[in-house]
Amino acid sequence: MHALVYVIVLNYNGREHLEYCLPSLLATEYPNYRIVLSDNASTDGSIEYVREHFPEVTVIQNDDNLGWARGNNVGIQYALDHDADYVVLQNNDTKVDPRWLGGAVQVCAEHPQIGIIGFRMLQEYIQGEDPDEQEFRKLSAAWEKLEFEPAEHITGAALFVRADVFRDIGLIDEAYFAYSEEDDLEKRAMRAGYQMVRINVPLWHYNGGFWRKQFLRSSVLALRNNIRCMIKNDTPRSIVRQLVWLFRFVCPPRVEYDVRIPHFRRLRPSNLLVNNAVLLYALAWNTCLLPATLWARYQDERRIVQARKRRGTVLGA
């Protein structure tokens, strides 16, 4: 019996992406998977399009734009309620190699300490790396042997997660709305004793989607959530070190960086005045919500301690 995989595709006014994403997902060779579209109140006909052209896809119609965190949590909870063994958080602007799920399931089955898996993603961090998908098609044609390596970070564009990770440490922190929520999840999982790896099966990411249309808002969310994630997960020394880097990157009038990396552009969205205003807002927001963030950190730590105890017992059995 093959393990059951639920692929959660989050969508908000992304019909143009669904037109290539869903056919790619439905060409997956793995025999036991379900696709769930968690739609954040789209108004571009996305739901009608999916129901007409892809009746095998389960559609969850949210009443509002719940953001990346809560919108995915709706799908994750649905998957857990339907006995999922693995849950994939998948952006709607991606294409996959048909062997992607089979490879991820195999690695997890052979290595029970692995909780989160990423893929060899084109345009994971850099826009314009493979705009015409030529490299993606080349890698897919040349792929022969499944391999994996440790990973320090995997973007939320395609995140393969053992369902027990969510059962152990909880779902995605909804206070983020969008950005840094996958960082928070990954840090919690690793603190709970899970390992994170990347397999060599290729995957293509458009890299941009909805947030290309609201870049200043995405900058505000990215910067404030970056700081919150530090406070919630890192040591005081690490927090200070990261804040120093942030000030040195955001505040000066001129900083050299790779403009193809959206994360860097979000930290410096405009001119000196705007950049510093966004940083001041992020600091003020986190100062006001510091008690709530510390309380969330305490609750996380309690779940993590219990997860480590349980996993120690299971792995030692």
Domains of the chain: 5-211 (3.90.550.10), 213-291 (no CATH)
From first to last of its 317 residues, the chain has per-residue pLDDT tens of 899 999 999 999 999 999 999 999 999 999 999 999 999 999 999 999 999 999 999 999 999 999 999 999 999 999 999 999 999 999 999 999 999 999 999 999 999 999 999 999 999 998 889 999 999 999 999 999 999 999 999 999 999 999 999 999 999 999 998 899 999 999 999 999 999 999 999 999 998 655 455 678 889 999 999 999 999 999 999 999 999 999 999 999 999 998 888 889 899 998 999 999 999 999 999 999 999 999 999 999 999 999 998 877 555 44
* Average pLDDT over the chain, rounded to an integer: 94
Residue found under tokens 């990346």: 68
CA dist 309 and 20 (Å) reads 43
Render pLDDT for 138-183 as a digit per residue (tens, 0 to 9): 999 999 999 999 999 999 999 999 999 999 999 999 999 889 999 9
Query: b vs e for 46-75, b when ≥16 Cβ sit within 10 Å of the residue's Cβ?
Result: bbeebeeebeebbbbebeebbbbbbbbbbb
